[in-house]
Amino acid sequence: MRILAYLLFTISVIMLVSCEKNNDDDVYSYDLSVTGDTTNVFSETGEEREYILQLISIPKITPEQAETILKSSDIVFKSEHNRFSVSDSVIIDNTIRLKIKCNENIVSDTIAERIDVVIAGPVNINTSFYLSQAGSDIRYEYKIVSEYMSDFTIPDEGGVFNIPIKCSRIKYLNSKYVLEEPCSLSGIRYKSSIVNAAWVHSDRIYSGVNPGDYVIELNASQPFNIDGKFSWWVGLFSNNISIYNLNIFHNQTPGEEYFIGTSSFFKSEILQ
C-alpha cells in the first residue's frame, strides 16, 4: 500500500513539473499572411499596388512583441526574375506595409513571377506568393522608301532598269512608337502581274549591300509593240496589307501599228 501511494505521489509531481514547464516554454509557430490583390494581372503598361504582410503566431503574441521581432530581423524581398520591385516598406505593429511595382512589359507574353519573403532573426520565416503582368501589344509596321513610290515609265526603246528601295520596320509598344530600323523583307510576299506583255517583260527583287536595301529589276529589253492595253505592276505585302505598289508603264513604239503576240504573267512568292 505504501508503495502504491508513493508511486501516485511521484506521478503527480512529474505531471505538475511538466505542466509548469510547458507554460513557461511554449513552442511558437510563425507565418506571414498576405493582404492585397494577387489575383488580377498587373497592367502591361506598368502599375504599383500596396500590400500588407501580417505576422501570425500560435500561441498569439501582442502587436508590440511582433513589432520587436520584425524590427530586429533581416527582411529580404526577392522577385524571381527581377520583374517586380518592392519599395516603401515600413513595419507597424505586427504588419509589414509595402508597395510592389512593375514597369512596362516589353514582351507579348504574360509574365508570371514568384515573390519570396525571407525573415531571418529571432524567428525564421520563408513565404512566397505569385504576381502576374499582362502581355503587351507589340505591333510592327513596314515602311518602304524609294525614288519611285507609285509609277515608273519605261522608255519607248525598252531596257533593263533597277528600282532601289529601302525597307525599315517601325515598332509600336502598346500603341506607342518605340523605334524604326532597317529590316529584312524575309517573310514578305512579293507579287507582280503583267497583262499583254510583248517581247521580254519580267521582274525580280534581290537584296542590296546594306540591311534593308533591295532592288527591283525590270526587264523590258525590247520596244513595246502590241495591239491591246498593257498593264504591269509589282507590289510587296505584309499579312495581305500592301506596303509598296509600283505601276509600270511602257508606251507603244511611235509609228508601229502591227501586232505582236501577247502573253500574261502573274507571280506571288514569299521572300527569304
pLDDT digits (tens, 9 = 90+) for 223-272: 777 766 788 999 999 999 999 999 999 877 766 665 666 778 899 999 98
SS3 86: strand
Q: How far is CA 63 from the centre of its chain?
A: 44
Nearest to 111 by CA among 157, 87, 79: 79
Distance CA 162, CA 218 (A): 6
- pLDDT, one tens digit per residue, over 98-150 is 999 999 999 999 999 999 999 999 999 999 999 999 999 999 999 999 999 99
What is the chain's mean pLDDT, rounded? 87
SS3 143: strand
Question: Does residue 19 surpass a pLDDT of 60?
Answer: no
On the 0-12 / 13-18 / 19+ scale of CB atoms within 10 A, 196 is middle
Nearest to 185 by CA among 116, 237, 245, 262: 237
Q: Assign 156 a pLDDT band (cuts: 50, 70, 90).
A: confident
Question: Does residue 28 surpass a pLDDT of 80?
Answer: yes
How much is the pLDDT for 197?
Answer: 75
Q: Assign 5 a pLDDT band (cuts: 50, 70, 90).
A: very low
Element containing residue 48 per DSSP (H, E): strand 47-58
Element containing residue 64 per DSSP (H, E): helix 63-71
Question: Does residue 3 surpass a pLDDT of 80?
Answer: no
Contact 207, 221 (CB under 8 A): no
How much is the pLDDT for 158?
Answer: 87
Written as nine digits, the cell of 74 is 533581416
How much is the pLDDT for 196?
Answer: 80
Q: Assign 222 a pLDDT band (cuts: 50, 70, 90).
A: confident
Q: Assign 23 a pLDDT band (cuts: 50, 70, 90).
A: very low
Residue 172 — φ and ψ, nearest 5°?
-120, 130
Q: How far apart are the first and last CA of the chain?
A: 105
SS3 118: strand
Question: Does residue 58 surpass a pLDDT of 90?
Answer: yes
How much is the pLDDT for 32?
Answer: 95
pTM for this prediction: 0.67
- Those residues with Cβ within 8 angstroms of residue 109's Cβ, 6 or more apart along the chain or in another chain: 135
Element containing residue 54 per DSSP (H, E): strand 47-58
Question: Does residue 169 surpass a pLDDT of 90?
Answer: yes
How much is the pLDDT for 4?
Answer: 34
82: phi > 0 → left, psi -120 to 50 → alpha, else beta; which? left
Higher pLDDT, residue 85 or 25 = 85
Question: Does residue 14 surpass a pLDDT of 60?
Answer: no
Question: Does residue 86 surpass a pLDDT of 50?
Answer: yes
**Mean per-residue pLDDT for 159-174?**
96
